Amino acid sequence: MQITEWLSLCLRWVHIIAGAAWIGASFYFNWLNNNIREPEVPEDRVKGDLWSVHGGHFYRFVKYTVAPERLPKTLHWFKWESYTTWITGFALLIVVYYVDAKLYLVDPGVRELSPAAAIGVGVGALLLGWIVYDLLCKSPLIERPVPFAAVCFALATGAAYGLTQTFGSRAAYIHVGALLGTLMAANVFRVIIPNQRVAVEAMKAGREPDAKPGIDAARRSLHNNYMTLPVLFIMVSNHYPFTYGHEWNWAILAAISVVGAGVRHWFNLRGKGRRNVWILPAAAAGIVALAFVSAPRDLRDAEPVAFETVRGIVEQRCLGCHSATPTQGGFAVAPQGVMFDTPDQIVSLAPRINNVVFVSKTMPLGNLTGMTDEERAQLGAWFAQGAQRE
C-alpha cells in the first residue's frame, strides 16, 4: 500500500510538472500566433513578427510564411512535454484506477462489470475516441470550423454520458480527461511533429517545403489549445465531488467544458484584435447558473433524524475504512486521516459527510458497504437540521 501511494505521488508530481510545461507552451505559442502582425519593414518569406520585452531584454519573434531560406543550425522542438504528460497520466490511470478496479473504477450501483471488462472499456474509449476524432479531422468537415466544433462537442458529451453510465463517477470524469489528453498527445505525436519533420526534411534535401502539412499541424495545435481548460478542470475535479458525483454529472462536465473553451476563445480573439466583450460575462453567468441548478434539495423540513440513527449508519457503512484501525482490505490507515470512531469526530466532520454521502453520493468507495438512498437522505437531513448530537 505504501509503495503504491509513493508511486502515485511521484507519477502525479511529474504529470503536473510536464502538464504545466506543455500547456504553458501551448498557451504561449497560440498567443504568439494570434499577436503576430505584418512587419513594419517587409522581409522576404516573413509573414509577420512580434516584439516583446521580458526580464530586462527585448525579443523579436519572426513567423515565416512557410520556412526560412536556410535551415538553422539549432532548431528547438516542443514534444517531450506532451509525451511525458500522457505517459505519466496513463500510468496514473493504471496505478489509481486499474490496479484496484473494484474499489475505484467499478461501481455496482452504476453498472455491474468485472475489473477486466471495465479496464477494457476504459482503454477502448481512448482508442476509439482518437480514431473517430482523427477521421473527422481528415473529412471535409474540417474546413467548416463551427460545424466541426459542434460535432466534436456532441461526441465528447456523448462519451461523457456513456462513461458516467459505466464507471464510478470520479473514474468516469478522469476517463473523459484521459480521452481529451489522448487526443491532444496523439495530435502532437501523429500529426504535429511528423508534419514539422516533413518541412525539415524537405529543406535538408534542398526543396521548398509544402505549406499544407504545416497548416494541418497548426490546426491540430489550435484544437489542443481549446481542449486545455476542460482537461485542467477534470484534473482538479476530484476535489469537488459535487460536480462528478451529481445526478447530472455528465451535463455539468459538458457545461463547464463549454465555459473553458469559451474563455480560451476570448483570449484567442483578443490576441487577433477582436473584442468580443460578451464572452467572459457569459462564461461567468454560466458558472453561476450551474451553481444554482446543481444545488441539492433542501432537507431542513424533513422528518428529524436522531444522532443515534446517524451513528449507526456511519458505523455500518463507513467505519470499515474511516477508523483508527480499518478493517477494509487495502487500507492500513484511514483515507486522508478521516476517522469516525467517536461522536465528536462524526459531528465535526458532518459537512464532509454530507458532501460526499448525500450531495455527491461518491462515498463509500464503489459503495462496497451497500449504503442505501434512504440512508443517504437521513444523513443529509441530519446535517441540514444542524448536525446535533442530541
- Among 38, 167, 162, 144, smallest CA distance to 96 is for 167
pLDDT for 365 equals 79
| Residue 345: pLDDT over 70 | yes
Q: Assign residue 76 a region: left if phi > 0, alpha if psi is -120 to 50, beta otherwise?
A: beta
- Please state, as a whole number, how many other Cβ atoms lie within 10 Å of the Cβ of residue 300: 9
The neighbouring-strand residues paired with 58 are 53
For residues 121 and 172, the answer to whether their CB atoms sit within 8 Å is no
Which 3 state secondary structure label does DSSP give 60?
strand
Sign (positive or negative) of CA dihedral 243, 244, 249, 250 = positive
- 294/217: higher pLDDT: 217
Question: pLDDT, tens digit, for every residue of 272-321?
Answer: 888 888 898 999 998 998 888 877 777 777 888 888 998 999 988 998 88
- Sequential DSSP letters for 9-59: HHHHHHHHHHHHHHHHHHHHHHHHHHH-B--SS--TTEEEEEEEEETTEEE
C-alpha span between 151 and 312 (Å, rounded): 50
pLDDT for 197 equals 92
Strand (E) positions, 207-248? Answer: none
pLDDT for 91 equals 96
What is the pLDDT confidence band of residue 18, given thresholds at 50, 70 and 90?
Answer: very high
- 21/3: higher pLDDT: 21
| Residue 167: pLDDT over 70 | yes
pLDDT for 390 equals 66
C-alpha span between 118 and 114 (Å, rounded): 6
How far is the CA of 364 from the CAs of 7, 314, 315, 358, 361, in angstroms?
Answer: 24, 10, 12, 11, 8
Question: pLDDT, tens digit, for every residue of 313-344?
Answer: 998 899 888 998 888 877 778 888 889 889 88
Question: Rg of the chain's alpha carbons, rounded to an integer?
Answer: 25
Question: pLDDT, tens digit, for every residue of 222-280?
Answer: 999 999 999 999 999 988 888 888 889 999 999 999 999 999 999 888 888 888 888 98
Query: Residue with C-alpha cell 495530435?
Result: 187
